[in-house]
Amino acid sequence: MVIDGQIFCGMLISAANALDNNKTIINNMNVFPVPDGDTGINMTLTMSAIKTLSRSDGSLSDVAEKGANIVLRAARGNSGAILSLFFRGMAKSFRGLDAAGSTELARAFRRGSDEAYKAVMNPTEGTILTIMRTCAEKAEKGAAGKYADDVVGLFAYIGRKAEEALAKTPEQLPVLKEVNLVDAGGYGFVVILNGMLAALRHHPVEALSADEDEEESVERTFAEVSTADIRFGYCTECIVEKDTVHRGEGSADSFKHFVSELGDSMVFVDDEEIIKLHIHTNHPGRVLEAALEYGSLMTVKIENMRNQHSEILGVSTSTAEEEPVLYRAIPEKKYGFVSVCMGDGIRDTFCDLGVDQIIFGGQTMNPSTQDIIDGVNRTPAEIVFVLPNNKNIYMVAQQAATIIEDKKVIVLATKNVPQGISAMLAIDPDAELDVNMESMNAAIDAVKALSVTHAVRDTTLNDVKIADGQYLGMVDGKIDTVCDSLDDCMKQLSAQAEGSSFITIFYGEETTEEAALTVAEYFKEKAGVMADVNVICGGQPLYPYLVSIE
Amino acid sequence: MNPYVILTDSSGDLTDEIVAGMPLETVQLEVILDGEGAKPNCDIDIQDFYAKLRSKKNATTSAVGIDAFLAKMEPILQAGNDILYIGFSSGLSGTFNAGFVAAQELAEKYPDRTIATVNTRAASLGEGLLVYLALKMKQDGADMETVRQYLENNKLHLCHWFTVDDLFFLKRGGRVNAATAVVGTMLGIKPIMHVDNKGKLIKVTTAKGRKGSIDALFEKMKETAIEPENQIIFISHGDCQADAEYLANRIRNELHVKEVQIGFVGPVIGAHSGPGTLALFFLGTER
């Protein structure tokens, strides 16, 4: 047996379903006990776009290429970015092949792993990368030995080794051991492998229906995602009157089998004299052509389901297979800015600072490569700076930058909102690029970012006991204080303001202005009378306070 | 040669304290506060004025008219004096132009008198500092032409660096174009502005927060001041004495200037710059 395009396509879809069914588990494998676990959602959203692949998209080379492109554009979060690079590497390795045996599969794993490693500047062991590399090593070993002619066996072997590698991740990453978890991204990758294997064994993983999965992500309700979720665009129905040669019940088994590969939701009635067929497919023509071999078409009905769906939603039609329709703004100025952020007040602040395009996202809601590409395209400037404002969005932003060709795109390494704001304050619209780069990067380094959120479970981190519901005060992403009351937490954090002159406090959606003004007093006290302390209603979720200190 | 009188307008914000008894004539611009009618600049209580601006009362100003100049100048000429008029930037007000027209008219009527005019392209205590330097020279015996020449040669070295708390007032008064916006007003980003060689208000850069903006004024002076140890420095403020003192102390301690004088931004300028304006004036290599 070999893996051809159709089988590979089924494997990818099965993997996407498997992820979808497990995303909540993966989300909860967050090292920090903070309410922003998003690896599961990121990986799921990255992979679910693959469900738009149609089952008969040609050779393995073609399917892998299409699949990789879809995943690349849908990539969200670092885990999603790494995943997309893995599939990209696989696709490159499969280029030109109709099908793959063990040797080709092993090569593809190696290439995928290599491509993923290349993109990460400081690869950390004990993460998804380790699992990928282990898979590549074991695949090579298996293909050269026991599984040289058994691609299914090889895949199963790779899957087992991946699970073993995953179980070892706590030994490689001390922080995982401390919180007694395996790496979430690695776990997701193992889920993907298992999903692919299941399909290879003819038992592909089906998606659980939405009501079985209670934590359906909010953004999946966006209209465009929903239309993309319709994998097969045409509801095709026909009744065939069997010609004399084909009379008899069950005479059309091979037709049934052929059609079933062209779509889903099939209803097939193979009667004595007629065949009645209902199927959702992307190829109504092929269905009808094949039907003609058994007799004449009595009735035919074909409906475009995406159109219907779009009409219901009141949006224009766009099918997933088309290139997304893009609006490209013509450059009107030298510099433009795309910033990722959450919260109305923070958005307004960025707009006030001259940001052209805001991409909604941040903790728990990472934008995709395509979201960032769209933002850049809409920005009417020759040079577009992208401010990810989150370390988990940086990679995807860089990926977007490599895809965009007609504009110069520079991704700034802003890990949080305060850094993003400082970078915007440092820009001089009349200065040369290198001057601006230097001053923006210096500004990013000069700002101290405080954030406060609450723990979502009991844990011990760096020998500090943290109880569910306690407030965690973080300085530049590291836990600094753990308190039962938010007020105490801010009091302690205010020590960070000593000697500073410019402090901005963004209070979140769950905080009142009154409380924020009290907190501002703590900071004023530490910073001294001449310091400016601004209090802004940031409106961000999950984080009662974000504070920028300069 | 006739004796001469130095004449200025009230946008120079000079106080009796600064002038210290040196003879100076001043024409008054007028300020119109919401519902209170026009009042000459000198009749307004400055603290009360700023309190009213803070409570969002509208204030507008009117330039000195030709008539007012004629009325002020003619008696001086009749008494046998020449006149040196040192006036408010033509880039900001019609006052200087009115003075210039009045001077030409009177020149015909009094052919044996001289009326010299200097368009300082300056404002507030920047204009005031030029007037002050002229008064000092006169006191030391300089003739009118020498003083006029000095002013012409030095007026574009008279640097104005200032910050405002809220650009609203400058925009309302049409003193900066509407496009002069400060990015980051929500964050407390402040404009650092100056008066350019045309005598217009220009935003040069921005600073983070109030303290940042005051320090930026200091840095500008440090960059361009000519022999600060020999200079008298003027600072004017829109009812923010403490900030003015902070700036003055930095200048005294770090640049070792001869003297720092602090005064209010008067109602005429204050109506347009608003409360919280802080302005620094010194002689520098360029504006």
Q: Please state, in angstroms and rounded to a whole number, the distance separating the CA atoms of residues A478 and A32.
A: 10
Residue from the list A352, A504, A532 with its beta carbon closest to the beta carbon of B183: A352
Write down the residue that tokens 């204050």 correspond to: B270
Residue A544: both structure tokens together: 């009662």
Confidence at residue A29, expressed as pLDDT on a 0 to 100 scale: 80
Residue B85: both structure tokens together: 């008029």
Q: Please state, in angstroms and rounded to a whole number, the distance separating the CA atoms of residues A25 and A13.
A: 20
Write down the residue that tokens 């608003």 correspond to: B274
The verdict on a CB contact (< 8 Å) between A501 and B212 is: yes
Residue pair A51/A13 in contact (Cβ under 8 Å)? The answer is: yes
- Comparing C-alpha atoms, which of A431, A429, A397, A399 is closest to residue A412? A397
Helices A128-144 and A151-172: crossing angle in degrees, nearest 10, is 140
Residue from the list A354, A501, A536 with its beta carbon closest to the beta carbon of B209: A501
Confidence at residue A35, expressed as pLDDT on a 0 to 100 scale: 67
A30-53 residue pLDDT tens: 777 776 667 888 898 899 888 888
Q: Which amino acid is at A252?
A: A
Confidence at residue A36, expressed as pLDDT on a 0 to 100 scale: 65
- Comparing C-alpha atoms, which of B165, B174, B170 is closest to residue B278? B165
Q: Please state, in angstroms and rounded to a whole number, the distance separating the CA atoms of residues B231 and B282.
A: 7
DSSP assignment, residue A330? P
Q: For residue A460, how many other CB atoms are within 10 A of its CB?
A: 12
Which residues of chain A neighbour B185 with C-beta distances below 8 Å? 352
Residue from the list B206, B209, B246 with its beta carbon closest to the beta carbon of A502: B209
* Per-residue buried b or exposed e for B221-236, using 16+ beta carbons within 10 Å of the residue's own CB: beebbeebeebbbbbb
For chain A, the 3-state helix, strand and coil shares in percent, each to the nearest 5, are 50, 20, 30
Residue from the list A353, A530, A532 with its beta carbon closest to the beta carbon of B188: A532
pLDDT one digit per residue (tens) for chain B, 287 residues: 799 999 999 999 999 999 999 999 999 999 998 878 788 888 899 999 999 999 988 888 889 999 999 999 999 999 999 999 999 999 899 999 999 999 999 999 999 999 999 999 999 999 999 999 999 999 999 999 999 999 999 999 999 999 998 888 888 877 776 566 677 778 888 999 999 999 988 888 888 889 999 999 999 999 999 999 999 999 999 999 999 999 999 999 999 999 999 999 999 999 999 999 999 999 999 99
The verdict on a CB contact (< 8 Å) between B187 and A425 is: yes
B23-55 residue pLDDT tens: 999 999 999 988 787 888 888 999 999 999 999
Residue A28: both structure tokens together: 């909860």
| Alpha-carbon distances, residue B125 vs A499, B10, B20 (angstroms) | 33, 10, 15
Write down the residue that tokens 């991409």 correspond to: A359
The verdict on a CB contact (< 8 Å) between A530 and B188 is: no
Q: Please state, in angstroms and rounded to a whole number, the distance separating the CA atoms of residues A312 and A314.
A: 5
State which residues of chain A have pLDDT below 50: 211-229, 309-326
Which residues of chain B neighbour A534 with C-beta distances below 8 Å? 186-188, 209
Confidence at residue A317, expressed as pLDDT on a 0 to 100 scale: 38
Question: Which chain B residue has the Cα nearest residue A345?
Answer: B186
- Least Cα separation, residue A326 to chain B (angstroms): 29
On whether any CB of chain B is under 8 Å from the CB of A148, the answer is no
Phi and psi at residue B228, to the nearest 5°: -55, -30
Residue A91: both structure tokens together: 């696709």
Q: Which amino acid is at A352?
A: D
Q: Please state, in angstroms and rounded to a whole number, the distance separating the CA atoms of residues B271 and B275.
A: 9
On whether any CB of chain B is under 8 Å from the CB of A348, the answer is yes
Residue from the list A501, A504, A531 with its beta carbon closest to the beta carbon of B187: A504
Q: Please state, in angstroms and rounded to a whole number, the distance separating the CA atoms of residues A394 and A380.
A: 22
The verdict on a CB contact (< 8 Å) between A536 and B208 is: no
Question: Which chain A residue has the Cα nearest residue B204?
Answer: A428
- Comparing C-alpha atoms, which of A330, A349, A342, A401 is closest to residue A366? A342
Write down the residue that tokens 């004990």 correspond to: A126
- Least Cα separation, residue A333 to chain B (angstroms): 16
- Return the C-alpha torsion angle B258, B202, B84, B103, nearest 10: -170
On whether any CB of chain B is under 8 Å from the CB of A550, the answer is yes
Residue pair B88/B120 in contact (Cβ under 8 Å)? The answer is: yes
Q: What is this structure's pTM?
A: 0.70
Confidence at residue A307, expressed as pLDDT on a 0 to 100 scale: 62
Residue pair A117/A130 in contact (Cβ under 8 Å)? The answer is: no
